[in-house]
Amino acid sequence: MIAGKKIVLVVTGGIAAYKVITLARLLGKAGADVRVAMTSVATEFVTPKTFSVLTKHEVLVDLFDEPNQADIKHIEWADWADLIVVAPATANFIGKMAQGVADDAASSMVMARHSPIVIAPAMNSNMYQNEAVQRNLKLLAADGVKIIAPATGQLAEGYAGTGRLPEPEKLFDEITMFLAQRTGRLVGKRVVVTAGGTQEAIDPVRYIGNHSSGKMGYALAQAAAEAGAQVELISTVDLPVPPTVKLIPVQSASEMFKALDERFEMLDILFMAAAVADYRIAKPADQKLKKHADHTGLTLELVENPDILATLGAKKTHQYLVGFAAETEHLMEHANAKLTKKHVDLLIANNVATPGVGFGSDQNEVTLLWPESEPEKLPVADKLTLARTVMDKVITQLKEQ
């Protein structure tokens, strides 16, 4: 999403301006052509020379510092940009944008724009919560401005509050997702991803579970969001949720099935990455179970859970279903059986007994199986890289249908 994009960073006068140095580097490293415009107050925190060296472009500061220019610089930059990002966006600059004030180079360039714009407010928490600032942010949102919410944490004033500029990596991810939702290959598609191992209650304290970390599911959710999809993540684990992804927390297989069944008719692609328990306790105890005084042990009666993916696969119409087969032996034999039984369009198989690529690992090694096609083994890679590769292949198949 970033490569080849022409991006103008507008740096306004806040202490967080130093974070934009790293953001400029991240955007440039990802292949963007970056220019920087600064307010005069911003130059008190970071020098224009810093950004000029990083971006290999001059920095726009003075509205009238162009006596020999054939083009009017702030207009030329507004025409040039594919995207404008204001970070940090101070209360003053937000007010200018909301009220249409153009009294310096940066605000004049923003007012002349015809490209999408993202702003990242950063200020003291009392200023951020001021009714006028909140009113201006609502006006900008109504005008189609993308607003990245400030973070909560230690402020420059020495106390904690909401108003910190998010870290550069977070800003980069938000910008990437914003561009993806405008131009990505899955724009307009609804994607649901499940993640983590289900928990089947024994009593209010204990449960039957498995070692699934949910990392592969979260990676798939991010890859789908990067491709522009509207993504919902049904998860049993607590991991950082990718930008723009909606989290639906569940615990048991029955809760996961209910959440999926409610969404199935409207979704376009399902990635069933969760490790769903095959069995649940027939009658979970209402209170914590105690040890028997005679030390006779404990017997639990298990009943089979519904096969969620097979049930959904049997009734699919337009949906593209991706299943997973986590095995410890006879990988391809079991995977091929599941491919047929569960009526999926793609099955992703991996041997979780292999050191370094099992449950909880940051890496994975998988084999892709399609009906009536030769399997494709993908090399060991981190889970996000694999997720992006899988997403590319799913998108290609959808185009061919």
Distance, CA of 241 to CA of 249 (rounded, Å)? 11
Distance, CA of 114 to CA of 182 (rounded, Å)? 15
Helix 131-142 and helix 91-99, axial crossing angle in degrees, nearest 10: 50
Q: Where are the beta strands (DSSP E) in 241-282?
A: 246-249, 269-272, 279-281
- Taking Cα atoms as reference points, which of 382, 360, 342, 377 lies closest to residue 223? 382
DSSP string, 193-241: EEESB--EESSSS-EE-----SHHHHHHHHHHHHTT-EEEEEESS--PP
Contacts of 162 (CB under 8 A, 6+ apart): 125, 128, 129, 150, 151, 152
The one-letter amino acid at 308: I
Where do runs of H (alpha helix) occur along 227-330? 253-263, 308-314
50: which 2 tokens? 């810093």
**Catalytic residue annotation:** 210
207: which 2 tokens? 């449960």
Neighbouring C-alpha atoms within 13 Å toward the C-beta of 215: 15
Which phi and psi (to 5°) does residue 137 adopt? -65, -40
Distance, CA of 304 to CA of 238 (rounded, Å)? 26
DSSP string, 38-74: E-TTGGGTS-HHHHHHHHTS--B--TT--TT-SS-HH
Contacts of 29 (CB under 8 A, 6+ apart): none
- Contact by Cβ (8 Å): 118, 84: yes
Which phi and psi (to 5°) does residue 90 adopt? -75, 165
**Given CA atoms 81, 85, 87, 89 in this order, what sign does their dihedral have?**
positive
- Contact by Cβ (8 Å): 383, 398: no
